[in-house]
Amino acid sequence: MAKRTGSKNQILLDAAVKTFARTGYHRTRVADIAREAGVADGTVYIYFQNKEDILISLFQSLMNRFVDELYSELAQCINANEKLEKIITYHLTTLGSKPEQAKVTQLELRQIDQKINEGISKPLLSYFKLIEEVIEEGKEQGLYRQDLNTRTARKVVFGGIDEVVTCWVMSGKPYNLADLKESVFELLIRGLQK
């Protein structure tokens, strides 16, 4: 099993984000990531088995950090509406401040094979669970409709945020992604409320 910790591991993951964003996952070679990280090609294989392993590890690392930090942010919120607004704000602000990461997560990860898809599904499911918890909380607090199907609502919430980020990445226009947070929140909250 490949090693997964340490500063060299993080340097390689950071280099992978830059390289995948610049040349695309399929055109990137492990040697390109090594060069971006300033290490010998063989060093990469101390930490990762292959390019697929790098992409899976990269997404797992990003999503685990994203969800952990978001849970901390949500702990400061009073109700489900505040939490939903925080999710939207955090998602748009985080990816808006990291355009290379956004390009990899929004474009490169959509063009992958089943093996990689299986490797990235667990951390993504933790984000889905977080959104579903907020929707359920909103129902319990009487803020959201009781007849609301939580899983469908989560798909709409995540899908809406995700599409806004994808359009931003694909547009190549220099607008502030976080500026859209209020519009996205208003649209989504109207579908959830009583």
In a domain, 52, yes or no: no
The pLDDT score that the predictor gives to residue 165 is: 96
pTM of the model: 0.88
Tally of structural domains, the chain? 1
Q: Render each residue's pLDDT in the chain as its tens digit; 194 residues.
A: 444 556 889 999 999 999 999 999 999 999 999 999 999 999 999 999 999 999 999 999 999 999 999 999 999 999 999 999 999 999 999 999 999 999 998 888 876 777 788 888 888 999 999 999 999 999 999 999 999 999 999 999 999 999 999 999 999 878 899 999 999 999 999 988 87
The pLDDT score that the predictor gives to residue 2 is: 45
The pLDDT score that the predictor gives to residue 80 is: 97
In a domain, 158, yes or no: yes
List the domain range (segments joined by +) for residue 170: 58-192
DSSP-derived 3-state class of residue 150: helix
Q: CB count, 10 Å around CB of 127?
A: 18
In a domain, 85, yes or no: yes
In a domain, 45, yes or no: no
In a domain, 125, yes or no: yes
Domain holding 72: CATH number?
Answer: 1.10.357.10
> Tokens 């505040």 map to which residue?
82
Write 67-76 long-range contacts (CB < 8 A, 24+): 67/123, 67/126, 67/127, 67/130, 70/127, 70/130, 71/130, 74/130, 74/134
DSSP-derived 3-state class of residue 24: coil
